[in-house]
Amino acid sequence: MNGYRDLRVALLGCGSVGAQVARLILEHGEELAARAGAGLVLAGIAVRDIDAPRDVELPRELFTTDAERLVQGVDIVIELMGGIEPARTLILQALQGGADVVTANKALLAAHGPELEAAAEQVGAQLSYEAAVAAAIPILRPLRESLAGDQITRVMGIVNGSTNYILDRMDRFGDSAEDAARVASELGFLEADPTLDVEGYDAAQKATILASIAFHTEVPVDAVHREGITGITAEQIATAKNAGYVIKLLAIAERITSSDGVDGVSARVYPALIRRDHPLAAVYEGKNAVFVEAEAAGELMFYGAGAGGKETASAVLGDLVSAARRHVVGGPGIAGSLHAELPILPVGEVNTAYQIMLQVRDEPGVLAAIAGILADHGVSAASVEQSVAQGSEGEAALVIGTHISREAKLAATVEALRVADMVLSVTSVLRLEGGE
Amino acid sequence: MNGYRDLRVALLGCGSVGAQVARLILEHGEELAARAGAGLVLAGIAVRDIDAPRDVELPRELFTTDAERLVQGVDIVIELMGGIEPARTLILQALQGGADVVTANKALLAAHGPELEAAAEQVGAQLSYEAAVAAAIPILRPLRESLAGDQITRVMGIVNGSTNYILDRMDRFGDSAEDAARVASELGFLEADPTLDVEGYDAAQKATILASIAFHTEVPVDAVHREGITGITAEQIATAKNAGYVIKLLAIAERITSSDGVDGVSARVYPALIRRDHPLAAVYEGKNAVFVEAEAAGELMFYGAGAGGKETASAVLGDLVSAARRHVVGGPGIAGSLHAELPILPVGEVNTAYQIMLQVRDEPGVLAAIAGILADHGVSAASVEQSVAQGSEGEAALVIGTHISREAKLAATVEALRVADMVLSVTSVLRLEGGE
Give A349-373 pLDDT, tens digit per residue.
Answer: 999 999 999 999 988 889 899 999 9
- CATH 3.30.360.10 for domain A140-305, yes or no, is yes
Q: Is the pLDDT of residue B381 over 70?
A: yes
pLDDT digits (tens, 9 = 90+) for A157-191: 999 999 999 999 999 999 999 999 999 999 888 87
Tell me what pLDDT residue B2 has. Answer: 45
Beta partners for residue A256, in sequence order: A264
The CATH class, in words, for B6-131+310-329 is alpha beta
Give the CA count within 13 Å in the CB-facing half-sphere of A423.
24
Tell me what pLDDT residue A390 has. Answer: 61
Q: Which of B103, B143, B101, B108 is nearest to B123 (CA)?
A: B101
Q: Is the pLDDT of residue B3 over 70?
A: no
Instruction: Return d(Cα A176, Cα A189) in angstroms, integer.
Output: 17
A330:B332 CB<8 A: no
Q: Is the pLDDT of residue A117 over 50?
A: yes
Give the one of A136, A150, A337 whose C-beta lies nearest to B314's C-beta. A150
Cβ-based contacts of B24 with chain A (< 8 Å)? 149, 296
- Please give, rounded to a whole number of angstroms, the shortest distance from the CA of B145 to a CA of chain A: 6
**A19 annotated to bind ligand:** yes
Instruction: Return d(Cα B366, Cα B384) in angstroms, integer.
Output: 12
B149:A316 CB<8 A: yes
Cβ-based contacts of A325 with chain B (< 8 Å)? 334
Tell me what pLDDT residue B394 has. Answer: 85
Residues of chain A with CATH 3.30.70.260: 350-432
Instruction: Return d(Cα A105, Cα A100) in angstroms, integer.
Output: 15
Say how many C-beta atoms besides its own lie within 10 A of residue A4's C-beta: 16
Cβ-based contacts of A281 with chain B (< 8 Å)? 282
Query: Maximum distance among all alpha carbons in chain B?
Result: 87
Q: Is the pLDDT of residue A293 over 80?
A: yes
**A99 annotated to bind ligand:** no
Tell me what pLDDT residue A389 has. Answer: 58
Instruction: Return d(Cα B153, Cα B296) in angstroms, integer.
Output: 10
Residues of chain B with CATH 3.30.360.10: 140-306
B298:A313 CB<8 A: no
Burial class (CB in 10 A: 0-12, 13-18, 19+), A241: middle
Tell me what pLDDT residue A3 has. Answer: 54
Q: Is the pLDDT of residue A388 over 70?
A: no
pLDDT digits (tens, 9 = 90+) for B326-343: 888 777 776 667 778 899
Residues of chain B with CATH 3.40.50.720: 6-131+310-329
Element (H, E) at B343: none
The CATH class, in words, for B140-306 is alpha beta
Binding-site members of B are: 12-19, 106, 191
pLDDT digits (tens, 9 = 90+) for B238-291: 999 999 999 999 999 999 999 999 999 999 999 999 999 899 999 999 999 999
Q: Is the ipTM of this complex over 0.95?
A: no
Give the CA count within 13 Å in the CB-facing half-sphere of A136.
33
Tell me what pLDDT residue A1 has. Answer: 39
A318:B151 CB<8 A: no
Q: Is the pLDDT of residue A435 over 90?
A: no
Cβ-based contacts of B146 with chain A (< 8 Å)? 130, 138, 141-142, 315, 318
A146:B330 CB<8 A: no
Tell me what pLDDT residue B213 has. Answer: 94
Q: Which residues of B are catalytic?
A: 206
pLDDT digits (tens, 9 = 90+) for A243-257: 999 999 999 999 999
Coil/strand/helix, residue B130: helix
Tell me the average pLDDT across A410-424. 96
Residues of chain A with CATH 3.40.50.720: 6-132+310-329
Q: Is the pLDDT of residue A332 over 90?
A: no
Q: Which residues contact B432 (CB under 8 A, 6 or more apart)?
A: B245, B272, B273, B274, B352, B353, B354, B355, B401
Most A-contacting residue of B76, B145, B151 (CB-CB within 10 A), to test interface: B145
Q: Is the pLDDT of residue B4 over 70?
A: no
Give the one of A141, A298, A310 whose C-beta lies nearest to B142's C-beta. A141
Confidence of residue A113 (pLDDT cuts 50, 70, 90): very high
Tell me the average pLDDT across B136-164. 95
**A298 annotated to bind ligand:** no
The CATH class, in words, for B350-432 is alpha beta
Give the one of B281, B282, B297 whose C-beta lies nearest to A305's C-beta. B297
Compute the mean pLDDT over every residue in chain B, rounded to the nearest whole number.
Answer: 93
Cβ-based contacts of B316 with chain A (< 8 Å)? 149
Instruction: Return d(Cα B157, Cα B366) in angstroms, integer.
Output: 38
Give the one of A317, A331, A337 whose C-beta lies nearest to B150's C-beta. A317
Establish, for the pair of chains A and B, how many residue pairs have beta carbons separated by less than 8 Å: 184
The separation between CA A236 and the C-alpha centre of its own chain, rounded to angstroms, equals 23
B322:A148 CB<8 A: yes
The share of chain B scoring above pLDDT 70, in percent, equals 97
Cβ-based contacts of B277 with chain A (< 8 Å)? 282, 284
- CATH 3.40.50.720 for domain A6-132+310-329, yes or no, is yes
Tell me the average pLDDT across A320-332. 85
A311:B297 CB<8 A: yes
Tell me what pLDDT residue A224 has. Answer: 97
Residues of chain A with CATH 3.30.360.10: 140-305
- Please give, rounded to a whole number of angstroms, the shortest distance from the CA of A358 to a CA of chain B: 33
Q: Is the pLDDT of residue B1 over 80?
A: no
B150:A325 CB<8 A: no
